[in-house]
Structure 1
Amino acid sequence: MNKGRVEAFTDAVLAIILTIMILEFKTPESFAISAILDQVPYLISYAIGYLFIGVAWYNHHYMFSKTRWISRNVYWANNFWMFATSFLPVATAWVGKGLNQQGPETFYFLVYMLWSMAYFILSLMLVKANEKGHRPEAAQSIRSMVIYRFMSNWKWVGLQIIASIVVLIYFPALQMVIVSLLIIFVGARFNKDSDQLFN
């Protein structure tokens, strides 16, 4: 399968998702600067969502740059990942309306878990495609990514789920803090060669 077309389609879908997210930001009726304060919860959830997609795109680009052959399994895993990502604007908008409410925060957590599962499946399919394509070094590069190692460690994933459930019961807004920390300290810890792929 043509890798360029899959990447172009993915980029287009992610661009649309980001556009939908910013369109949820409502222009205040008043011209007073204080009128923007009502939008602060949404701005917080939007900023986290934007960071989420930005980091995910970078990792996606890295994995696809390492991969030469796109199998059917990779194609469908990529579609599942985009499907999971497409729920982010709804989750972001709802959290923006109820930053410390259980309903929106639980939905965001479920979207995040679906996204994580889809991302791990995509990573795994890319590893298998590289192994089948006789590119063990590319497969190893994907396996060595911090996000891959985190998601393949059931102890860390289990700890995250338990912590999130406790937080959702007692202080739902902390769920966004957990997601932000995972994005920064797990997702954004890129492989050293990630900025040297095309040198």
Structure 2
Amino acid sequence: MSKERTMAFTDAILAIVMTILVLELNEPEQMTWSGIWALHESYLAYALSFFWLGTLWVGLHNEWQHVKMIKTSTLWMNLIVLFWASLFPYTTKLVSDHFNNSVAQVLYGVVVVLTTVFNLLLSRTLVIENPQERAKSRFRQHWLSLDLLIKLVGLVLSLTVYPPAAMYSVLLTACAIAIPSHVIESLQGQKE
């Protein structure tokens, strides 16, 4: 089965989800710097979700670049990743409106964790279907596993002691794991 239609579909869904994110931002009650500052947690939630989804897209792009073949199991796993990713505008809005609320942060964290879990499973599906890409995918799976562990810790902390921990764990993984691993992947690709 050709991968091009699946990649185009994935790109379209992620583009729509990222666009909806900005539409969920509130306007300041007063158009002043203090009015804008009052929404800083909303802007943080938006930026973090936008770049997290962008990082997901870059990761999928890098992984799918050398894939030769996909099967129905890959299509379904990709659809499940997109399902969880499609909930980002909703959970981002909840966190924007209730930044220090444990329920809002845990819901956000659950969406992040489930998107990551199914992204990891999607990666494993691609390895099964494209064994020649095993080494490249192992690198990605290693980073996704570490990424998932940090997000799970953030989710537990959100649930128990510090509500914003879920969102900050996403920020931590984006800055410390996801972005650097994508840079390393692209450098490895240039060597070949």
Q: Does 1:192 align with 2:184?
A: yes
Instruction: Measure how far apart 1:164 and its partner are.
Output: 3.2
1:1-199 counterparts in 2 under 5 A? Answer: 1-131=1-131, 136=132, 138-145=133-140, 148-152=141-145, 157=148, 161-162=152-153, 164-188=155-179, 189-190=181-182, 192-194=184-186, 196=189
Instruction: Measure how far apart 1:187 and its partner are.
Output: 1.7
Change (3 A) 1:39 1:152: closer
- Matched residues in 1 for 2:32 and 2:80: separation? 43
Q: Greater CA deviation, 23-32 or 46-55?
A: 23-32
- Matched residues in 1 for 2:143 and 2:128: separation? 18
Letter in 2 for 1:149: H
- Matched residues in 2 for 1:109 and 1:89: separation? 13
> Alignment RMSD, CA only?
2.2
Q: Greater CA deviation, 69-78 or 170-179?
A: 170-179
Gaps of 5+ in 1: none
Tell me the alpha carbon deviations over residues 17-45 of structure 1, each in whole angstroms, 9 at most, x when there is no partner.
01110001122353323222232111000
**Does the 8 Å contact 1:45/1:96 carry over to 2?**
yes
SS in 1 for 2:74: helix
Gaps of 5+ in 2: none
Figure out how many residues of one structure are paired with residues of the other and give that number.
189
- Matched residues in 2 for 1:12 and 1:103: separation? 30
**Does the 8 Å contact 2:154/2:165 carry over to 1?**
no
Return the TM-score normalized by structure 1. Answer: 0.86
Share of identical aligned residues, percent? 26
Change (3 A) 1:173 1:144: same
Change (3 A) 1:59 1:53: same
- Matched residues in 2 for 1:87 and 1:121: separation? 19
- Matched residues in 1 for 2:99 and 2:145: separation? 30
- Matched residues in 1 for 2:104 and 2:92: separation? 9
- Matched residues in 2 for 1:167 and 1:126: separation? 33
Change (3 A) 1:107 1:65: same
